[in-house]
Homo-oligomer: A and B are copies of this chain.
Amino acid sequence: MTLKELADRLGLSPTTVSRALNGYPEVNAETRARIEIAARDYGYRANTMARKLATGRSMAIGHVIPLSNHQMINPIFAEFMAGASEIYSSEGYETLLAAVPAANEVQTYRELARRRSVDGLIVHAPRLNDPRVDLLRELELPFVVHGRSVDIEDRPVFLDTNNRRSFEQATTYLIELGHTRFALLNGMETISFARRRRRGFEQALQNNGLRSDASRMVDMEMTETNAYDVTMKWLNEPKPPTAILTSSTISALGVARAIRDAGLQIGDDVSLITHDDDLSFMRNVGDPPPFTALQSPIRDAGAKCARMLIDHIAGKKVSSEIWKCEFIEGRSTGPAPKETPA
């Protein structure tokens, strides 16, 4: 069923039918109703391609995921996508996913632009001085950044959490519990949020006259296994940390497993605070929940970014947002253990 066929059956011109269905004002209410009913009855839907070609809008939002060397797929990203994609659908947009080898990332953006495949993009996990920002500006594609590139002047529209402040706050909380030997299990510091978290961590230590130990600050892909290995190594060192901060619940599980395998008690021998993206398959719930955490639902962030981008594309003025993490006291923290004289 094409527009023309539908028009023929109604004894109207394609023009009128098109206008009626697209909500243009210059069509009689009665005619419109008749057209709408017919369209529904015949199950007519405009052919996406034809519409896109005619309007010049693709009605699609792109998400480019670079598959890193490590070939790690980020479940956090998946949760973000779920939030975003739901909004796209409800607003009539399609979600275009491009999982490409990291080396092809820039090329992929260029292609998307040249072929006009998408109306806009979300930039994930911005790095320092992220080249994608300039690239997308050059390509004149609307975009919203999830995260912040502090170093970029004339900042693009972004949504971020207050990573620095959160980690400073969490660290201070642990300091007040008497802890003095800290460790930070961070995400990859090529990505700006990780840097900001470290800065918050270091700031809190410094504010309280404590020194950060480079060997106790690790940045890595946030896998359970990585976290386990690193924590195990730390715990086997002399003067192991009694307080660990980590960047995701996934790593937190690895840390927790290591602590237990080392024969220690979480929240007792070793305290742990994690950033918690509130992943649907890994909810930090209970009364109190297992982890003391800095929570910021990534899914909501996805939905919000989607809305911001859609508004941005529509030419509306959108302003960036910085969300606060919620601090949740759980069972993974407690007073620093008494020093056992070696």
Q: Which residues of A contact B (CB under 8 A)?
A: 43-50, 52-53, 58, 65, 67, 70-75, 77-79, 81-82, 85-86, 89, 94-101, 104, 108, 110-111, 114-117, 221-225, 250, 253, 256-257, 260, 279-283, 285-286, 290, 299
Contact = CB atoms under 8 A, between A and B. Distances in A.
Contacts of A65: 82, 85
Q: Is the interface of A mostly helix, strand, loop or mixed?
A: mixed
Contacts of A225: 282-283, 285-286
Contact of A86 (B74, B99, B111, B116): B99
A117 B100 contact: no
Given A45-B111, A67-B86, A115-B46, A281 B98 contact: no
A188 to B, nearest CB: 13
Closest 10 CB pairs of A and B: A78-B78, A85-B99, A75-B75, A45-B114, A49-B52, A95-B97, A48-B115, A49-B53, A73-B82, A72-B280
A89 B79 contact: no
A163 B221 CA distance: 31
B223 A282 contact: yes
A223 B82 contact: no
B79 A73 contact: yes
Contacts of A110: 43
18 contacts: A48-B117, A50-B53, A53-B53, A65-B82, A73-B82, A73-B280, A73-B299, A75-B279, A75-B281, A78-B78, A89-B98, A89-B104, A89-B108, A95-B98, A97-B97, A223-B282, A256-B257, A257-B290
Contact of A253 (B72, B74, B223, B253): B253
